[in-house]
Every structure is written in C-alpha cells, then in structure tokens.
Amino acid sequence: MLARSVVPPPFQGQRLQPVYGVLQSRVDIVCCGNYPLMTLSFATTTPANATVFFSVGTFIRPGQCCQGAFLELVSVDDGPPGGEQGLGCGGQTSQFTGTLIGVSCFGRLAFTPGTHSVTLVLFVGAGGPFVVEQGPSTAILIQFD
C-alpha cells in the first residue's frame, strides 16, 4: 500500500463528504500481474450509493521499451479486484517514451453501514517496463449521493 486516506464516520444526519486520494510515490511496473496502488478507507452510518472515479497515469522512461496493456481494477473491502462489488476498465501506455498517458474510469457502488476500503489495483497483462506516475494522474475520488 503506497497511499492511505482515512475519513471518520459522519454525524447523524450529516451528508457523507467525498473521499479522495492520490498515489504518493511512483510505482515501477516490470511485467505481468496485480499491482495494488493505493487504498482509501472510510465509514458510513447508513447505506450509501457512490460514484467512484479512478485514474492511472503511466509513462515509459526514455531508453526503455515497450508499450504495455493493463486493466484498472477497484477492489472493495479486500474482495477480488474488479469482482462482484468492484469496478474495472482497460488501458495502455503510450507507444513513445516520456509521454504521460492518463486513463480515467468511473462506476457506481453501493455500501452498507460500516467501515469500508476501496483499493485501486493495476493488472498488467503485457508489456513493460513502465512507470505509474504519482500525484493527481493516479487517484481515486468517491462521491456519495
């Protein structure tokens, strides 16, 4: 886990505030497999629906190759990435070195009362090496209804 954000539970009748986090340090991707990038934790006192926005920024360092293909997956409460209560979308790195490519996705999730975690996982199916960039290009935003 490279980033963690914790939001205390809301007071009775208070609207849930958005939960946001960005990747705190670059992640070097060598090749194939799951790479957990960051986790956000929060609590709800009532059932809550939310839109989850997630993005991953990648680039290939000068002098390296090759283009990579990946899936951005969301794991909820330590479930399987992209599983029954998860989200996912596909993307690829640039074909050129030194070019930041951002892939942004969103989806809807429902949360029961309690403490929850949402983890952004990158599944790399081919290619590499490449870098997942830190900062706002790799982030999660959870916006409650």
Q: What letters, b where the CB count within 10 A reaches 16 and e where it falls short, cover 67-85?
A: ebebbbbbbbeeeebbeeb
pLDDT of residue 1: 44
- pLDDT category, 40, cuts 50, 70, 90? very high
Q: Which amino acid is at 138?
A: T
Residue 94: give its domain's CATH number: 2.60.120.40
Owner of token pair 């599983």: 83
Residue, of 4 and 27, whose pLDDT is higher: 27
Contacts of 11 (CB under 8 A, 6+ apart): none
**Are the C-beta atoms of 10 and 17 separated by less than 8 Å?**
yes
Residue span of the structural domain in which 101 resides: 4-144
For residue 127, give every residue at least 6 positions away whose Cβ sits within 8 Å of its Cβ, in sequence order, or none: 31, 66, 67, 68, 69, 92, 93
Distance, CA of 5 to CA of 42 (rounded, Å): 8
pTM of the predicted structure, to 2 decimals: 0.85
pLDDT digits (tens, 9 = 90+) for 115-133: 999 999 999 988 888 999 9
Domain count, the chain: 1
